[in-house]
Amino acid sequence: MTTPATAASQQPALSEKGRAAANERLEWARQIALEAGEITQKYFRSPTLRIDWKGDGSPVTVADKTAEQHLRQRIEERFPTDAILGEEYPEKPGESGYKWILDPIDGTKPFMHGVPLYTNLVAVIEETSGEPILGVINAPASGETIHAAVGGGAWYQNGGGELTQAHVSDVKDLADGLFLTGDVAGFQDRTNDATEVYFALQEKARISRTWGDGYGYMMVAIGRAELMVDAEMSVWDAACLKPILEEAGGTFTSWRGEPTVHAGEGIATNGHILKQVLEFTGGK
């Protein structure tokens, strides 16, 4: 199996109690992510889909809101003392020490234009450490899912077929790899304009494309891409990614190489090319 670039990028092993909590919640997370996908598919490519714009300039649809409402309801049915944080509604505090992190549609812009690369993201964070213990990416339009709990490997399913263990690629040099991002404009919008970082990575990589959001990170985890970079992220975009990438043998870090989902940015790699990428991003 491909191993991460450094041992420091790996989250510490869960305690016996933590493993039990993660495994119990993982099956539920997988189930409700699929349900959220079914809800969003009912609105996908609908000619009557209404698009509203939030105060930060990002779009939101009835599909986003309905899916998150469903996710919250299902979590409260099974884990009523868990906290919940989602993109579209206020945070619900909890008492169990675990918090669900929800992005009902990661890639609302592709969704509203009928592009089948949007995803539903579900994660659970251990509140004491702030670390995610599990993550699920569901791509309902393509029929793909990937999930992981810390210490249990990452598992990919295509079109309802057999679960297969996910592994990142063995590509050793970005010059032979695929570089993905979700929004080029985000590089320019950083406090320190990082447009030059995007163009440097684009020039270094063999191929670059904007197949972004959760789908791009899934591509890294299953070995179809070597690098995915976001210049701006919220925790609901990032929380599910770290356990999936690490359990697949890769890395998920900040632009400075810190293994965290709380940096407001993200880099996913197959591990082999992380050092190369940080040479471009580390100062930004």
Binding positions for Mg(2+)? 87, 103, 105-106, 237
- State the DSSP string of 98-150: EEEEEEEEE-HHHHHTT-TT-EEEEEEEETTTTEEEEEEEEETTTTEEEEEET
SS3 253: strand
| Contact (CB, 8 A) for 138 and 108 | no
Which candidate, 113, 123, 39, places its Cα nearest to that of 87?
A: 123
SS3 266: strand
Cα separation, 217 vs 240, in Å, equals 10
Angle at CA of residue 118, ends 116 and 122, nearest 5°: 145
Angle at CA of residue 43, ends 51 and 236, nearest 5°: 70
Residue set of the binding site: 87, 103, 105-106, 237
**DSSP class of 14:** P
